Amino acid sequence: MLLTFEGIDGSGKSTQIRLLKEHLEAKGHVVHLVREPGHTSISEAIRTILLNKQFHDMTDRTELLLFNAARAQLVERVIRPALDRGEIVLCDRFYDSSFAYQGFGRGIDLDVVRACIEIATNGLVPHKTFYMRIPVEISIARSAEKHLDRMEIAGYDFFLRVIEGYEYLCKSEPHRIVSCDGTLPADVLHRVVFQHLPQLLS
CB 2 within 8 A of CB 52: no
Q: Is 19 exposed, middle or buried (0-12, 13-18, 19+ CB in 10 A)?
A: middle
Q: Which of 66, 67, 90, 134 is close enough to bind ligand TYD by CB under 6 A?
A: 67
Count how many residues are written for the chain: 202
Q: Which of 17, 36, 103, 134 is close enough to bind ligand TYD by CB under 6 A?
A: 36
Q: Which of 9, 31, 79, 130 is close enough to bind ligand TYD by CB under 6 A?
A: 9
- Report how many residues bind ligand TYD under the rule CB under 6 A: 13
Q: Is 131 in the site for ligand TYD (CB under 6 A)?
A: no
CB 131 within 8 A of CB 36: no
Q: Is 39 in the site for ligand TYD (CB under 6 A)?
A: no
- Write the binding mask 150 to 179 for ligand TYD: x where contact by CB under 6 A, - elsewhere: -xx---------------------------
Q: What is the DSSP string of 61-95?
A: HHHHHHHHHHHHHHIIIIIHHHHHTT-EEEEES-H
Site residues (CB under 6 A) for ligand TYD? 9, 35-37, 67, 92-93, 97-98, 101-102, 151-152
